Amino acid sequence: MNVDCPDLVWRGVDLPETAMFRGAGTGPALVDVIQFGGPVAVPLDLSDVHDDPDLATFLAKEAGTARYALVHSGVSLQRGDADADLASAAVQMTLSSDDGTATAWSLAPMSAATPNETTTSFSVGPDAKILGADVSLAAIGRTKTLHGEDVFLQASGLLTSEPRWEFTRTPTTALAGSYRLVLVVRAPARQQARLVVTLSASVKTGRWPRRFRKTLSLQAAGDPAAIIF
């Protein structure tokens, strides 16, 4: 089944600083660095999956005990100045229902990485001495290239009520760009589900990182910190 991603309403989020290392107090908020889009909850009903017999059979089998919804959201990370360049960021979603059984059935993306390549080489000259950058034609060279990946995005909390996406700066990847985050929620069949979103980030400016955190206000009335679906 192919699912179209809905348009998201994006907003800038200013993150207040949390207590610093050794209780040194709080500082100015982190501003103009993180934007959050959504969340938008879309029920996954039998009428939506009639062209996928296997999925339709699964949902019909689950209908008496559970229902499913797609939750679309996104986060945009921007490069800051020297004092506001992100070292890490995270999107934490907390799910709940009347009996506490709402869970993250599936998450995407689960991870993302950039390739890295490390080359180690040296050259030995005619006099058996190791040469530097200037290599003569008579030198014997030895080169070894290592290939790997730097993981900068990792999801966690699958099949729990606290799914999370964590972004970490790596030697090859600065934290910048926009990312779609998709969550399939499994909730009790005849109960409402609630979703609370908390953003956090850290900035490395000295010996100790500065940490920021904020639970988003998703509704103007009722429960202001939650989206209900």
pLDDT digits (tens, 9 = 90+) for 86-96: 999 999 999 99
Q: Is the pLDDT of residue 122 over 60?
A: no
Radius of gyration of the chain from Cα atoms? Answer: 24
Rounded (5°) CA angle 127-118-76 = 155
d(CA 204, CA 131): 38
**Residue 140: pLDDT band by 50, 70, 90 thresholds?**
very low
List phi, psi (to 5°) of 204: -95, 110
By residue count, the chain amounts to 229
pTM of the model: 0.81
* 141 within a domain of the structure (yes/no): no
Domain encompassing residue 82: 10-17+27-45+62-115+152-228
User: What is the average pLDDT across 133-160?
Assistant: 65
User: Region 200-223: what's the mean pLDDT?
Assistant: 84
pLDDT of residue 151: 84
In-domain check, residue 54 = no
pLDDT value at residue 146: 46
The better pLDDT of the pair 150, 158 is held by 158
| pLDDT tens track for 49-61 | 777 888 888 888 9
- 218 is a domain residue: yes
Mean pLDDT for 162-179 is 91
**What CATH number does residue 206 fall under?**
2.60.40.1170
| 145 located within any domain | no
pLDDT of residue 36: 97
pLDDT of residue 11: 94
Check pLDDT > 50 for residue 135. Answer: no
pLDDT at 136 exceeding the cut of 50: no
% of residues, the chain, pLDDT over 70 = 76
Residue 227 pLDDT level (bands cut at 50, 70, 90): very high
Residue 130 domain-assigned (yes or no): no
Q: Into how many domains does the chain fold?
A: 1
Mean of all residue pLDDT scores within the chain? 81
Residue 174, both tokens? 């600065």
Contact by Cβ (8 Å): 105, 61? no
Asked, for residue 51, whether it belongs to a domain, the answer is no
- pLDDT at residue 193 tops 90: yes
Q: Please say whether the beta carbons of 174 and 181 come within 8 A.
A: no
Quick check: 17 pLDDT over 80? yes
Q: How large is the greatest C-alpha to C-alpha distance in the chain, in angstroms?
A: 82
Average pLDDT over residues 181-190: 93
Q: Is residue 195 a part of any domain in this protein?
A: yes
Specify if 50 maps to a domain.
Answer: no
What is the per-residue pLDDT for 24? 46
